[in-house]
Every structure is written in C-alpha cells, then in structure tokens.
C-alpha cells in the first residue's frame, strides 16, 4: 500500500520542530505540527491518526491543508456562529459598573438596571439582563445581592 506522506521544506521542518519543542501552542496546533512531522518522516495516515488519536480523515485534512497553505494550516479556521458582541473592555466596564454605588432610590443593582445603565452610558448599543448575568457570573464575586455569610451595605 502506498504511504501518504508530506515533503516538508527544511525551513518548515525547523519551524515545526521549534514550535513543538517550545510547547506553548494550543493542543490542536501541537497535534497538527506533530502529525505533519510524522507524515514527513514517512508515517502513514493510519499510524499518525492512531498516535494523535484522530481519524484518518483529519490527518488527511492536515496533509491537504499543508499542501495548499503551508504552515498557515496550523491555525484554526474561523468558526461559524454568532460573533461576540461585547469585547473584554466592555465587559470590564459592566463589571465595574456593578461594583459601583447603585443609582439613587435603589439599595443595590439588579441585572435589568445594570443593562439599562450600560446602554445609557454607551458601553454598547444593546445589552440584555441575561447577558449582564453571564458577564458577572464569570467574575470571582457577585455584587448582585449579598452572598451567604456576608453582610450587606
């Protein structure tokens, strides 16, 4: 049976070996790099797939990607789905707002109030109270309400 392998250039081989030796790349990138290096050494798609715990088709995609795009095939392709609406800075502003004093007439912030105030302050065009809850859920403390065992201001 014919071995399906890749012929890496000297520069590409050196770049892949450097990437693997550093160990700072994502797991996906490392698997692709190790797979390409194995294919370059003459390993079959089956052997590489078993070693990297991926399907033969995946290894074939790595090989074909390298032939088409070179080392750019190591990067993850853009994924479909809804784009992120709030960037990190906007999320930080919402979190800081939740940690600030509530508006006059309120003893504490609630999610709807935070969402409305964030839009009013032009942090974003639109923001739902559920999105505010998701943002605050990812912080270490929740300024909404009081945590069990803590005293309210």
Sequence ranges of the domains in the chain: 10-74, 88-137
Rounded to two decimals, the pTM is 0.55
Cβ pair 10, 18 in contact under 8 A: no
User: 36-76: per-residue pLDDT in tens?
Assistant: 999 999 999 999 999 999 999 999 999 999 999 999 999 98
pLDDT at 50: 95
* Statement: residue 80 has pLDDT above 90: no
Distance CA 97, CA 111 (A): 11
pLDDT at 143: 52
């Amino acid at each position: 049976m014919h071995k399906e392998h890749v012929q890496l250039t000297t520069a590409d081989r050196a770049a892949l070996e450097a990437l693997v030796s550093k160990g700072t790349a994502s797991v996906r990138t490392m698997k692709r790099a190790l797979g390409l290096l194995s294919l370059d050494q003459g390993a079959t798609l089956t052997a590489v797939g078993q070693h990297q715990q991926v399907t033969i088709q995946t290894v074939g995609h790595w090989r074909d990607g390298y032939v088409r795009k070179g080392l750019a095939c190591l990067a993850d392709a853009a994924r479909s789905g809804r784009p992120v609406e709030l960037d990190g800075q906007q999320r930080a502003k919402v979190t800081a707002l939740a940690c600030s004093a509530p508006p006059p007439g309120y003893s504490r912030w609630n999610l709807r109030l935070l969402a409305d105030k964030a839009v009013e302050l032009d942090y974003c065009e639109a923001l739902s109270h559920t999105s505010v809850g998701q943002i605050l859920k990812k912080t270490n403390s929740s300024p909404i309400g009081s945590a069990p065992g803590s005293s309210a201001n």
